[in-house]
Amino acid sequence: MNDKTHLVDHITGHRRMRRNRKADWTRRLVRENLLTVDDFIWPVFIVPGTNIIEPIPSMPGVNRMSVDRAVEAIKEAADLGIPAITTFPNIELDMRDETGSQVLEANNLINQATAAIKKAVPNIGIITDVALDPFTSHGHDGILRGDEIINDETVDQVVKAAIMQADAGSDIISPSEMMDGRIGAIRRGLDASGHQNVGIMSYATKFSSGYYGPYRDAICTSGLLKGDKNSYYISPANGTEALRDAALDVEEGADMLMVKPGLPYLDICWRLKEAFGLPTFAYQVSGEYTQIKAAALNGWIDGERVMMETLLCFKRAGCDGILTYFAIEAAKKLAKG
Ligand code: PBG
């Protein structure tokens, strides 16, 4: 018996957590979660015109692309094994109006993009947002009258837009405008127009967040937005309310749920997955992306490492996948092993 016994021996005895961490093979063996390319949905910004690749200053490494260039990039995404993309349009400012009427143009930028992507890259999933914010002159997600975003009229318009998006080839409609009753209304609209197989990924819990700033730069709504979105997005203070909101979407027929933003809301991801068991996705939004990129560009963090860590943490929190601007970079990194 060694008389130099350590106090720790008596305390931990047979309970040594580090045994399972001692070598690469044990760590691999006990690993609980794995990130794969199948977990990614890549958000893509579309601009009018041809042959345009335009960097977004507040999102280093992310570009707005014209449809032709977006199609090429999405081919690359499909080759990397990324299962799905989602698109956001940045239309000319003079085409935006009070009601976002461009959203109801069958051949608008987003529907043109969908049709072109479907034709050129038929095996990638296309998810389209139906919020009005890229189309309104005031940057709100719905129809604004006085100070109020009018719920039911907005839903009517969103349903029409969703049907047009499905006609253009969208596989999943993802309403992000947080109007009440929209999921049921969209489901009925899609079914009545022969789109029973088009799914709905609900932005079930979308929080009123400061993390959306760079996205608003990307689609040029930063300068347009009057006031805030607190009357329709959820307060960051409220988790139980978020669950009740998601419960309505589930009841109304959502096929998949989304939490947005992602990392500050991992508790919500977990609670949603536990409560409903539906496929659950997190949107690692523009501000989250930019924080990592900015710190990495300053040499203050290892950007690639933090990228992979955050994406893995979404899996641990119960997510089935992540909408992320890192999709291409992370997919390449995973392919390298
Ligand atoms: C609005 C919408 C937002 C985002 C996508 N669609 C939020 C907003 O501008 O209020 C944010 C995406 C991101 O930050 O990456 N319908």
Q: Provide the token pair at 171.
A: 């596989």
Q: Which ligand 1 atom lies nearest to the CA of residue 209?
A: 10
Q: Could you list the residue range(s) of the whole structural domain that residue 319 is in?
A: 35-336
136 bridge partner residues:
97
- For the chain, the domain total comes to 1
CB of 148 closer than 8 Å to CB of 116 = no
Q: Return d(Cα 182, Cα 89) in angstroms, integer.
A: 21
Q: Is residue 1 part of a domain?
A: no
Q: Return d(Cα 142, Cα 130) in angstroms, integer.
A: 10
336 is catalytic: no
The pLDDT of residue 5 is above 80: no
Least confident of 188-192, 193-197, 220-224: 220-224
| Model pLDDT, residue 323 | 98
By C-alpha distance, which of 262, 269, 137 is closest to 211? 262
The strand pair at 84-89 and 63-66 is best described as: unpaired
CB of 92 closer than 8 Å to CB of 48 = yes
Given 229, 260, 293, 315, which residue is catalytic? 260
Q: How confident is the model at residue 219 (pLDDT cuts 50, 70, 90)?
A: very high
161 bridge partner residues:
none
Question: Angle at which helices 327-336 and 303-316 pack, to 10 degrees?
Answer: 90
Q: Which ligand 1 atom lies nearest to the CA of residue 285?
A: 15
Residue 158 Cα to ligand 1 middle (Å):
16
Degrees to nearest 5, angle at CA 19 with 13 and 21: 140
Residue 221 Cα to ligand 1 middle (Å):
10
Q: Return d(Cα 167, Cα 178) in angstroms, integer.
A: 23
| Model pLDDT, residue 268 | 98
CB of 76 closer than 8 Å to CB of 328 = yes
| Model pLDDT, residue 310 | 98
With a 6 A CB cut-off, is 171 part of the ligand 1 pocket? no
Q: Is residue 254 part of a domain?
A: yes
226 is catalytic: no
| Model pLDDT, residue 13 | 62
Q: What pLDDT digit, counting tens, does each position of 133-149 carry? A: 999 999 999 999 999 99
> Per-residue pLDDT averaged across 285-313, rounded?
98
The pLDDT of residue 2 is above 60: no
Q: How confident is the model at residue 235 (pLDDT cuts 50, 70, 90)?
A: very high
| Model pLDDT, residue 15 | 79
> Per-residue pLDDT averaged across 144-163, rounded?
96
Residue 216 Cα to ligand 1 middle (Å):
7
Q: How far is CA 101 from CA 105, 132, 135, 182, 226, in A?
A: 7, 9, 7, 18, 18
Q: Is residue 252 part of a domain?
A: yes
Element (H, E) at 218: helix 213-218
Q: Is residue 8 part of a domain?
A: no
Least confident of 118-127, 183-192, 205-214, 220-229: 220-229
| Model pLDDT, residue 11 | 59
| Model pLDDT, residue 6 | 72
With a 6 A CB cut-off, is 131 part of the ligand 1 pocket? yes
Q: Which ligand 1 atom lies nearest to the CA of residue 43?
A: 15
Q: Is residue 330 part of a domain?
A: yes
Q: How far is CA 259 from CA 62, 113, 226, 239, 273, in A?
A: 22, 25, 24, 11, 11
The sign of the dihedral angle between the CA atoms of 148, 149, 155, 156 is positive
| Model pLDDT, residue 14 | 73
Q: What pLDDT digit, counting tens, does each position of 60-80 carry? A: 999 999 999 999 999 999 999
Averaged confidence pLDDT in the chain = 96
| Model pLDDT, residue 3 | 61
| Model pLDDT, residue 12 | 61
Q: Provide the token pair at 258.
A: 């989304």
Q: Is residue 298 part of a domain?
A: yes
Q: Is residue 122 part of a domain?
A: yes
Given 22, 118, 119, 206, which residue is catalytic? 206
Percent of the chain with pLDDT over 70: 97
Enumerate residues 6+ apart whose C-beta is below 8 A from 140: 132, 133, 149, 225, 226, 229
SS3 category, 289: helix
Residue 194's domain is classified under what CATH number?
Answer: 3.20.20.70
With a 6 A CB cut-off, is 176 part of the ligand 1 pocket? yes
Q: How confident is the model at residue 328 (pLDDT cuts 50, 70, 90)?
A: very high
| Model pLDDT, residue 314 | 98
| Model pLDDT, residue 311 | 98
CB of 77 closer than 8 Å to CB of 141 = no
Q: Which of 215, 228, 233 to mutate to test the pocket of ligand 1 (most atoms within 8 A of CB)?
A: 215
| Model pLDDT, residue 298 | 98
Q: Return d(Cα 200, Cα 15) in angstroms, integer.
A: 47
With a 6 A CB cut-off, is 126 part of the ligand 1 pocket? no
Which phi and psi (to 5°) does residue 131 adopt? -65, 155
| Model pLDDT, residue 4 | 67
Cα atoms in the 13 Å half-sphere on the side-chain side of 41: 24
| Model pLDDT, residue 272 | 98
Q: Is residue 259 part of a domain?
A: yes
